[in-house]
Amino acid sequence: MAKNNTNVNGEAVVKKQNQWVEAWKRLTKNWSAMAGLAILVIIILAAIFADVLYDYDNVVIKQNISARLQAPSAEHWFGTDEVGRDVFARIVHGARISLAIGLSANVVSLTIGGILGACAGFYGGKLDMIIMRIMDVFLAIPGTLLAICIMAALGSSVTNVVIAMAVSGCPGYARIVRSAVMPVRDMEYVEAARAIGCTNKRIIFAHVIPNSLAPIIVQATMHVASVILTIAGLSFLGLGISPPTPEWGSMLSAGRAYIRGNSYLTMFPGLAIMITILALNLLGDGLRDALDPRLR
């Protein structure tokens, strides 16, 4: 909706309402998405200011055997682990690693998989065939197994985890983007765009992709969640981030031995994973509703 304002000269000025502004307005009306977003913002802020809250070397890494296995208390909110480190501090720093890897792996696979999928879907024919069969080869290997293979081949480091996650995420994106692009490609407005002289590049980026964004955004938010989960899984198996780096999965793994007497060692990292993923999924669903022009 355009609103008429007047500028200093008294002329009518039309304030342009961006589609993203409108989408944001609709998003704010969706309480579950806003709850997801709020939780996510808290986690992101915690990750950004983790160093301010807890010193990495002195609190998160340094062992303090005298304070080992303490139950949650005012001093240690989530208790201490088997070598006396504060669990809350480690979870806060763990958020940093999980989110950083989740986002960066996601950006890489979205870019590569997205462009491959868009080309496959838009041009179709032989190109589609070649790209999608290669993607099928990747899809034939379970994502975690593929990541394990890559980690085993490259060795475990943060960069390698990102590479492994990015590679295993590509086929999923390629499929989603391709299937989102295909119906849009045949829309009359794409033909109309061609009839006014748009180049293929312009048609893909200005007409086709904006119209197929909704499923891609949902996939992107959900995929961050699944990457975080896979990293946790890898670390749990001892293949992801190696101790003493505070990673939620490896914390779960370490707490496993004490699950009977000190269940909070596994409960809190588990909760951190669960809440983060829940928040991402809620936001993803909300974004899909907000961005779908048919629901406006």
Partner 1 sequence: MSENMKKDLELDIKNLVVEFRTDAGVTQALNGLDLEIEKGKTLGLVGETGAGKTTTGLSILQLIPDPPGIIVDGSIKLAGEDVMMKSEKEMEKIRGQQVSMIFQDPMTSLNPVMTVEDQIAEVVAIHEVDANGKPIAYSDAIKRAKEMLELVGIPGDRGTEYPHQFSGGMKQRVVIAIALACNPKLLIADEPTTALDVTIQAQVLEMMKGLRDKYGTSMLMITHDLGIVAEICDAVSIIYAGRVIEHGSLEDIFDNTRHPYTEGLFNSLPDLDHREQRLKPIKGLMPDPTNLPKGCAFCPRCDYAMEICQTQKPPRVYRNDEHYVECFLYNEQNIKEGGVIGR
Q: Say whether 226 sits in a helix, a strand or coil.
A: helix
Alpha-carbon gap, residue 68 to 156, rounded angstroms: 28
Residue 293 contacts partner 1 per CB under 8 A: yes
Alpha-carbon 135 to chain mean position? 21
Residue 205 contacts partner 1 per CB under 8 A: no
Stretch that binds partner 1, among 53-61, 136-144, 201-209, 245-253 (CB under 8 A): 201-209
Those residues whose C-beta lies under 8 Å from the C-beta of residue 172, and which sit 6 or more positions away, are 109, 113, 139, 219, 223
Residue 192 contacts partner 1 per CB under 8 A: yes
Q: Say whether 58 sits in a helix, a strand or coil.
A: helix
Alpha-carbon gap, residue 113 to 120, rounded angstroms: 10
Strand-pairing partners, residue 14, are 4
- The distance of closest approach from Cβ of residue 16 to partner 1 in the complex, given in angstroms and rounded to an integer, is 5
For the chain, the C-alpha Rg in angstroms (whole number) is 23
Residue 74 contacts partner 1 per CB under 8 A: no
Residue with tokens 């809350």, as numbered in its chain = 88
Measured from the CB atom, is 207 or 223 closer to partner 1? Answer: 207
Among residues 19, 58, 242, 263, the one that binds partner 1 under rule CB under 8 A: 19
DSSP output for 238-263:
TSSSPTTS--HHHHHHHHGGGTTT-T
Residue 126 burial by CB count (10 A; 0-12/13-18/19+): exposed, middle or buried?
Answer: exposed
Preceding omega of 269 cis (within 30 degrees of 0): no
- The distance of closest approach from Cβ of residue 130 to partner 1 in the complex, given in angstroms and rounded to an integer, is 17
- The distance of closest approach from Cβ of residue 115 to partner 1 in the complex, given in angstroms and rounded to an integer, is 20
Residue 129 contacts partner 1 per CB under 8 A: no
- The distance of closest approach from Cβ of residue 2 to partner 1 in the complex, given in angstroms and rounded to an integer, is 4
Stretch that binds partner 1, among 7-15, 95-103, 217-225, 253-261 (CB under 8 A): 7-15
- The distance of closest approach from Cβ of residue 290 to partner 1 in the complex, given in angstroms and rounded to an integer, is 13
- The distance of closest approach from Cβ of residue 193 to partner 1 in the complex, given in angstroms and rounded to an integer, is 7
Among residues 90, 207, 223, 288, the one that binds partner 1 under rule CB under 8 A: 207
Alpha-carbon gap, residue 210 to 201, rounded angstroms: 13
Among residues 53, 64, 129, 210, the one that binds partner 1 under rule CB under 8 A: 210
Whether residue 178 contacts residue 121, with contact meaning beta carbons closer than 8 Å, is answered with yes
- The distance of closest approach from Cβ of residue 120 to partner 1 in the complex, given in angstroms and rounded to an integer, is 17
Among residues 9, 188, 260, 261, the one that binds partner 1 under rule CB under 8 A: 188
Whether residue 249 contacts residue 236, with contact meaning beta carbons closer than 8 Å, is answered with yes
Residues that contact partner 1, how many (by CB under 8 A): 31
Footprint on this chain of partner 1 (rule: CB under 8 A): 1-2, 4, 12, 14-17, 19, 125, 187-189, 191-199, 202, 206-207, 210-211, 213, 293-294, 296
